[in-house]
Structure 1
Amino acid sequence: MNIFCSFVKNRIEMENLRRYPIGIQTFSEIRKSNYLYIDKTEYVYWMVHFTKYVFLSRPRRFGKSLLTSTLHSYFSGQKELFQGLAIEKLEKEWTEYPVLHFDMSTAKHADCEQLLQELNMKLIRYEEVYGKMEGEVNPNQRLEGLIKRAYEQTGKQVVVLIDEYDAPLLDVVHEEERLGVLRNIMRNFYSPLKACDPYLRYVFLTGITKFSQLSIFSELNNIKNISMNESYAAICGITENEILVQMKDDVDALAQKLEVTSEEVLAKLKENYDGYHFTYPSPDIYNPFSLLNAFADGKFNSYWFGSGTPTYLIKMLDKFGVAPSEIGRKTAVAEDFDAPTERMVSITPLLYQSGYITIKDYDKELDLYTLDIPNKEVRIGLMKSLLPNYVASKTPETNTMVAYLSRDIRNDDMDAALRRLQTFLSTIPQCDNTKYEGHYQQMFYIIFSLLGYYVDVEVRTASGRVDMVLRTKTTLYVMELKLDKSADRAMEQIDLKNYPKRFALCGLPIVKVAVSFDSEQCTIGEWKILKV
């Protein structure tokens, strides 16, 4: 009897669980199957009524495909799917238009022949509906023919939706020759979008990166880029207000499962998944993929970064010679980061448009934006991806070391932490370029960043620069690093330049740490630790 009652109780609880649309990007499926949907339809209404050609850039897994699917349902006249949503009260006329919807994410990792095959398959799907003229051979000819025939056969202007327009180009953005070939194919495919203007009701494109209009959209110079438009700041992602209003029960349920308060859950969600701003001012934007996964799993994990680090990012960091500590903390004008990626002279546009750095502040007087890594999930994910460039170790060994190291630092035992690092570094294969001090500085920066604490390098003081500053909840460590020189000499420099004075008002005990690296052994040689 007890077993049966327990079974019934569990069954009822499962049926009452919130359904999270993990990996589901089709608006109609979410609505018909009663999945959680954060209402973005007010943005849809204003977007389709006041602009005809629209481009939106957002990082991967930020809801671009769901937004495109929402537009598809809207322009297909599926009014029943929008019952209870904001647009139901705004829209007075529900008109069905012919919709050509192209998802270019299926054309990733494609060479020239494969890309043409992908375009062929996408066009065939609609040619089976609207037909094909014998002389239409190239992708642009076939797209133009489709638009005109759809218009003629239905008597309605045509809607063209292109999701992830840049997907075929992202993996080769660092290879100029291959990029040029694939870019020409896509430019050819998109070229009819201006010539067909009389036949078009609406054109919407999404992507991660921003390629120049010249290189991709040919003469389509009337497209409206709303990526940094304040009115659409929250069109993708989930805002803090949306969590508090539309997901309050979810927060409470997660708090109950973790046996903490709802306030503690909100703080943890904010620390891990918040921090995105795509214009200024902007509400706080949470990564929707990570947020929904955390609620679905009932725990905090690295979801967005765990879903795949693009290889092109790592290659471009190497191409531009960007050290791990240089990824965040930038100031720039908008043209320096909201810029075409194929003409970029720094890594900043790619980092910003891919979601690895985001807007944190804006100086209106100077027209300067402050950019930094959004949150803990991204910072730790980035450092894990970059660590193999400094420590050629197997992942399980590194993860185990970091876990124990975290406990050492949490216990304020820097001596044990350095001893652990010394042993770890002496028992693993070493990477190249270990004969200069900067290598070890960046390696320490990555390792300490993995612990989730604040860490910075080359911190300015009145008399010089501190090699590294590590701040935990209980202690601030001022660290000087030397290569093939004694720890005593490193400590002398700390004292001579009185580095601790710079941090006297930090409110934490200050500890001086002098570390000497042995370039022959490729590990820590000796160290000294003194409390101020």
Structure 2
Amino acid sequence: MKKLPIGISSLEKLRRENCYYVDKTHFVEKLVNKGNQFFLSRPRRFGKSLFVDTLKQAFLGNKQLFEGLYLENNWDWSVKYPVIHIDFGGGLVKDAQDLKEWIISQLLEHVMLYNLSIESSKNLRILFRSIILKLYQEYKNPVVVLVDEYDKPILDNIEDTEKAIEIREVLKDFYSVLKASDQYLKFVFLTGVSRFSKVSIFSGLNQLNDITLDTEFATICGYTQSELETVFKDRLEGVNLEKLKYWYNGYNWLGEKVYNPFDVLLFFDKKDFRPYWFETGTPTFLVKLFYKYKYYLPSLENLEADEGILSNLDVDNVKVENILFQTGYLTIKDTYELGDEIYYLLSYPNFEVRTSFNKAFLNYIERYGLSYRPESKIYRSIQENNLDKLKETLYSFFASIPNDWYRRNDLDSYEGFYASVVYALFTGSGLNTKAEDTTNIGKIDLTVFYQDRAYIIEFKVVEKESEGKALNQIKEKKYYEKYIGICKEIYLVGIEFSKEKRNIVYFEYEKVESV
């Protein structure tokens, strides 16, 4: 077996150490034939850095690295280009001054690498421009500029709006050189997680062709099902392919769905289903936003968004939906048109993200003194079909939340909070759930599936005491009819929360016959 390229983003190292490689080099030729300045957004650990290095090696003319790959016989190896490669992937930018020093340091490395005679400058824009001109003059060929993780300095400071704006302005000034130097450039390629709006950092980069949602490049990063089964064929013996797909596949950028490469490689190494990608970066900032704006968590199952929300992020006007999509916690499930506008239906890409994100939502409560985590008890209650035990578990959980938590987060009037937490508990426990489950006469708040059973759950928030409206609504609207004949057993569960008592005051259930 070949070596798994875990953490390797260098094409030279990957080929030298005889690692598995999913050949994406046909995208190099396709990009060059399509234009000369591009931008690509993909989530972290999705193979962006490896693709950037692949571009670099192709333009440098290192043909030996492409033996047996598509580009070997589909590239003009007689021409070599000077390459400026800036990488913001490593390290943590503290402030604008730190960023300036880091950029200048990387630019000076190119001065040394190419042995250029350039006067040192503390002005990064002047230095960048001088290096481009000097390389163009000395190599008699236009210059290639590759920038990896262009937005990481901003994202590192996204919670401090003032500092993030200062950093944005430094990057804006730096990237403005690209537009002014167009006549000296052969090819420009920027990658990142987020696409900041044209009125901010992209105002000086409006010449870039954004291929993030370009169908032609939907699989430029990530592994397709075919690539997985072909390249890693010798690693698949004994692997449950359906379970692998359920856990890690599902990312979609208007083309074929792909796997997260990081997950796949770690799974083959450990042979154990775990949230490998999610564990490398818990979205604490996003969870804070959820509580701050009283976001209704179940809506993430089917979130509608327009193209503007998906493609533009403003530092001083952060939208939860925007960050969720661009960072990979949501992906495109479907598209539809309304008039001349295109709209997108977003949802979790797979089981890993769905379960882990909801656990992260619960973890945030735990930071304020909550020691009772009931996910395993909830799972066992459903597994054993013991709804009395489920009632006790949910009641104990809400009773354990400190009063100080509500005071700090102003959640007394947030009716969706209770439904969001219950949804997170069921989904975070690993159960198969469906939020806002549509029927012909309304929406079920939450449906939970286990084997051949379905649990139809309705939430209500009442002022003080139990009213019994939740269960009555399920019965009156006959939500359960959707699953008659599909599930052998159907249970109707009504749950009501008291704003005053901050806990469950009504929990009743009934079983209906499924003929």
Pair in the same fold by TM > 0.5: yes
Aligned to 2:266: 293
| Alpha-carbon distance, 1:392 to partner | 5.3
The one-letter amino acid paired with 2:83 is V
- Once the two structures are TM-superposed, the CA of residue 175 in structure 1 deviates from its matched residue by 4.2
1:528 equivalenced with 2:501 (yes/no): no
> Which deviates more from structure 2 when the two are superposed, residues 420-429 or residues 148-157?
420-429
The letter for the 2-side match of 1:478 is: I
Distance 1:456 1:63, change over 3 A: same
Instruction: Give the ranges of 4+ consecutive aligned residues of structure 1 lying more than 6 Å apart after TM superposition.
Output: 393-396
132 and 277 in structure 1: CA distance in 2 versus 1, 3 angstrom threshold = same
CA separation in 2, counterparts of 1:391 and 1:465? 31
Report matched runs for 1:249-288 at 5 Å.
249-252=234-237, 255=238, 262=239, 265-279=240-254, 282-288=255-261
Taking a change above 3 Å as real, the CA distance of residues 488 and 352 of structure 1, as seen in their structure-2 partners, is: closer
Counterpart selection for 2:47 from 63, 66, 76? 63
Is the 2:161–2:316 contact (alpha carbons within 8 Å) kept by the matching residues of 1?
Answer: no
Shift of 1:272: 0.7
Q: Deviations over 1:303-347 (max 9, x none)?
A: 111111244433444454422212231233323312344476742
Q: Is 1:162–2:147 an aligned residue pair?
A: yes
In the alignment, is the contact (CA less than 8 A) between 1:274 and 1:284 conserved in 2? yes
Code of the residue aligned with 2:356 in structure 1: it is: G
**Contact conserved, 1:358 with 1:371, CA < 8 A, in 2?**
yes
Partners of 2:174 and 2:510 lie apart in 1 by: 66
Contact residue 5 and residue 20 of structure 2 kept, 8 A: yes
Deviations 1:70-121 (A, max 9, x none): 1111112111111011111212434322211110123534212211221122
Counterpart contact for 1:341–1:349, Cα < 8 Å: no
2:77 pairs with 1:104: no
- 1:194-220 CA-partner distances (Å, limit 9, x unpaired): 222222221110011101344224443
1:350 aligns with 2:323: yes
Conservation of the 8 A alpha-carbon contact between 2:175 and 2:204: no
Structure 1 distance, partners of 2:452, 2:314, is 42
1:472 paired with 2:450, answer yes
Q: Is the 8 A contact 2:313 2:319 kept in 1?
A: no
Q: Is the Cα–Cα contact under 8 Å of residues 148 and 199 in structure 1 kept in the other structure?
A: yes
Unaligned 5+ residue runs, structure 2?
Answer: none
- The residue that corresponds to 2:101 in the other structure is 117
What residue in structure 1 maps to residue 390 of structure 2? Answer: 417
**Aligned residue in 1 for 2:27:** 43
Structure 2 counterpart of 1:6 = none
Q: Which residue is equivalent to 1:258?
A: none
- Indicate the larger mover: 474-483 or 373-382: 474-483
Secondary structure in 1 aligned to 2:207?
coil
Q: Distance in 2 between matches of 1:135 and 1:290?
A: 44
- Look up the SS of the partner of 1:238 in the other structure: coil
Which residue number in structure 1 is paired with residue 297 of structure 2? 324
2:127 is aligned to 142
Counterparts of 2:323 and 2:171, CA distance in 1: 20
Q: What SS is found at the alignment partner of 1:120?
A: helix
Aligned-pair distance for 1:234?
0.7
2:6 counterpart of 1:22: yes
Q: Secondary structure at the match of 1:384?
A: helix
SS in 1 for 2:455: strand
For structure 1, list consecutive stretches of 5 or more residues without a partner in the other structure. Answer: 1-16, 256-261
SS in 2 for 1:278: coil
CA distance, structure 2, for counterparts of residue 232 and residue 493 of structure 1: 47
Contact 2:301 2:435 in 1 (8 A): no
- How many residue pairs align between the two structures? 502
Q: How does 1:291-440 map to 2 (within 5 A)?
A: 291-342=264-315, 346-363=319-336, 367-390=342-365, 397-398=372-373, 401-427=374-400, 429=402, 431-432=405-406, 433-434=411-412, 437-440=415-418
Q: Which residue of 1 is the match for residue 214 of structure 2?
A: 229
- The structure-2 alpha-carbon separation of the partners of 1:171 and 1:427, relative to structure 1 and needing over 3 Å to count, comes to same
- Sort the Cα spacing of 1:436 and 1:64 in 2 relative to 1 into closer, same or farther, 3 A: closer
The within-5 A match list for 1:210-225 is 210-225=195-210
Cα distance in 1 for residues equivalent to 2:467 and 2:444: 15
Aligned position for 2:466 = 486
Identity %: 33
Q: Alpha carbons of 1:74 and 1:481: their partners in 2 closer, same or farther (altered >3 Å)?
A: same
Q: 1:435 to 1:122 in 2, by over 3 A?
A: same
**1:394-452 residue CA offsets vs partner (Å, 9 max, x unmatched):** 79852xx3123212212222222222333344345353125654322111000001133
Given that 1:172 and 1:312 are in contact with CA atoms closer than 8 Å, whether structure 2 keeps it comes out as no
Cα shift at 1:125: 1.0
Deviations 1:346-388 (A, max 9, x none): 4222211111111112236763322111111111111111113
Do the aligned partners of residues 429 and 156 (structure 1) sit closer, same or farther apart at CA in structure 2, a change above 3 Å counting? same
TM-score by length of 2: 0.89
Say which SS state the counterpart of residue 236 (structure 2) adopts.
helix
1:77 maps onto 2:57 in alignment: no
1:292 and 1:25 map into 2 onto residues whose CA distance is 13
- Hey, what does 1:10 align to over in structure 2? none
1:469 to 1:123, Cα distance in 2 relative to 1, 3 A: same
- Please say if residues 60 and 208 of structure 1, whose CA atoms lie closer than 8 Å, have aligned partners that are also in contact: yes
* CA distance in 2: counterparts of 1:220 and 1:528, whole angstroms: 58
Q: What is the distance in 1 between the residues matched to 2:440 and 2:76?
A: 65
1:204 is the counterpart of 2:189: yes
Shift of 1:55: 0.8
Using a 3 Å threshold, how does the CA distance of structure 1 residues 143 and 249 change in structure 2: closer, same or farther? same
Q: Which moved more, 1:84-93 or 1:456-465?
A: 456-465
Partner of 1:8: none
- Amino acid of the structure 2 residue aligned with 1:147: I
Equivalent of 1:453 in 422, 431, 439? 431
